[in-house]
Copies of this chain bind each other. A is one copy, B any other.
Amino acid sequence: MRQTKRVTIKDVAEEAGVSAQTVSRVINDRPDVSDETRAHVQNIINRLGYSPNILARSLIQGRSNTLGVVGYGLEYFGSAGVLTGIERKTNEFGFSLLLSLLDQFQPARVDHILKELLSRQVEGIIWAVPGQVPTFHWLTEKFERMNVPVVFLNKEQTNEHVIVAMNNQLGGRLATEHLLQQGYRRIGIITGPHDWWEAQERELGWRKAMQEAGHADLEMLRVVGDWSAASGEVGLHTLHAKAPDLEAVFASNDQMALGALQAARRIGLRVPQDLGIVGFDDIPEAAYFSPPLTTVRQNLKALGALAVEQIKNMIATRQNDEEFNARIDWVDPSLIIRKSSSRV
């Protein structure tokens, strides 16, 4: 395998004894080529292993057929699912996907990534970095200058962004109302980091459901984790100390729920008899926890796919020289009931 110049349209044309233009027509499936010529050229193309240089094509057409996605730690269950959905839909639309991952939110790094994506002429950007509420203002300014369609994933609603979001509040509500229906009364929450929008919304769902059920003094029933199982374990111990009459816990993700299960075992609380537990995510392991975990399932792939569809809409809108409007589209999660909350 040596360095070899790539075959160009000219090479094919020369070999086939036609003009480059004719070859171009063949590779673009244009009608105005005789069947004979087409077959002949196609033969040469196959023989030479020619594949058109999309970069050159993009240059002329002013279209790159490329989307950029800025993602976040794929070790998070949500990130991986969403990215899968994005990739699938992007491909379905005949676009390619440039992937950038953000470890932490460092402005310099973000600057670099966005500049790179723009330079590569992406036709749209999907911002799939979860939560981190404080950063959005700064981001908005950046994107405004960039003049490229952007879709945000899982971000609070505003009147200037196009957003696609999981209905986390509904999820929190589903979890909490289910526990209430099962007869649990003092229902605590192990929530996620406060600067994550997802965590805020899930908590809000819990809070509203509890308030509607007539429960007050919710602060005593609330503790903050960091999504890790370790923090879930600590969280339940803390909750149990603060409110010994605790009857159930809604953990804002499955890993924290797992930690809570562990802590319950240590404290000597039987699940679900003494303590009901509901998680969030429905990771594949959740059904095999002991006891199997009731949890809120998100259709992450659908969310990712929806983001791509929105981008496509925005691209089309721009081409028609119309304005596009801020909007938010929701994907609803669903409750998966298992043993950890089934007291009835």
* Interface of A toward B, CB cutoff 8 Å: 1-4, 6, 49, 51-56, 58-59, 64, 73-75, 80-81, 83-84, 87-88, 91, 96-101, 103, 115-116, 118-121, 144-147, 149, 228-229, 233, 255, 258-259, 261-262, 265, 283-285, 287-288, 290, 318-319, 321, 323-324
The answer to whether A288 touches B147, judged by C-beta atoms less than 8 angstroms apart, is no
**Within 8 Å CB of A84, what residues of B?**
73-75, 101
Contact A99–B101 (Cβ < 8 Å): no
Given A3-B321, A53-B59, A100:B75 Cβ within 8 A = no
In Å, the complex CA distance between A316 and B247 comes to 63
Q: How far is the CB of A280 from chain B (nearest CB, A)?
A: 14
B2 near A323: Cβ-Cβ < 8 Å:
yes
Q: Give the residue of B80, B229, B284 whose beta carbon is less than 8 angstroms from that of A228.
A: B284
The answer to whether B1 and A147 have CB atoms under 8 Å apart is yes
**Residues on B with beta carbons closer than 8 Å to the beta carbon of A64:** 55
Bound Cα distance A90, B33 (Å): 42
Q: Are A97 and B99 in contact (CB under 8 A)?
A: yes
Return chain B residues, CB-CB under 8 Å to A1.
144, 147, 149, 318, 323-324
Which residues does chain B contribute within 8 Å of A261, judged by CB atoms?
288, 290
What's the Cα separation between A146 and B204 when bound, in Å? 54
Report chain B residues within 8 Å CB of A147. Answer: 1, 4, 6, 49
**Residues in B whose Cβ lies below 8 Å from that of A4:** 147
8 A-B contact pairs sorted by A residue (CB < 8 Å): A1-B147, A51-B118, A55-B121, A75-B80, A97-B99, A228-B284, A258-B285, A283-B285
The residue in chain B whose Cβ has the minimal distance to the Cβ of A144 is B1
Q: Are A96 and B98 in contact (CB under 8 A)?
A: yes
CB-nearest residue of chain B to A146: B49
Given A229-B288, A284-B228, answer yes or no on A97-B98 (Cβ-Cβ < 8 Å): yes
A87–B101 contact, CB under 8 A? yes
Q: Which of B101, B121, B262 contacts A290 (CB 8 A)?
A: B262
Q: Which residue of B lies closest to A116 (CB)?
A: B96
Q: Looking across the interface, which residue of chain B has its beta carbon closest to that of A319? A: B3
Given contacts A2-B323, A74-B83, A261-B288, 20 further A-B contacts (CB under 8 A): A1-B323, A2-B318, A49-B145, A53-B59, A53-B121, A54-B116, A54-B120, A55-B120, A74-B80, A80-B80, A87-B100, A87-B101, A88-B101, A91-B100, A96-B116, A98-B98, A228-B284, A229-B287, A255-B284, A265-B290
Q: Is there an interface contact between A121 and B54, defined as CB atoms closer than 8 Å?
A: yes
Of A59, A103, A116, A288, chain B has the most CB atoms within 10 Å of the CB of: A288
Residues of B within 8 A of A2 (CB): 318, 321, 323
Greatest chain B CB density within 10 A among A96, A255, A259, A262 is at A96
Which residues from B are CB-within-8-Å of A88? Answer: 101, 103
Least distance between A162 CB and chain B CB atoms (Å): 10
Question: In whole Å, how far is A239's beta carbon from the nearest beta carbon of chain B?
Answer: 17
- Of the candidates B52, B74, B324, which one forms a contact with A74 in the assembled complex, judged by CB atoms under 8 Å apart? B74
Residues of B contacting A255 in the complex (Cβ-Cβ under 8 angstroms): 284-285, 288
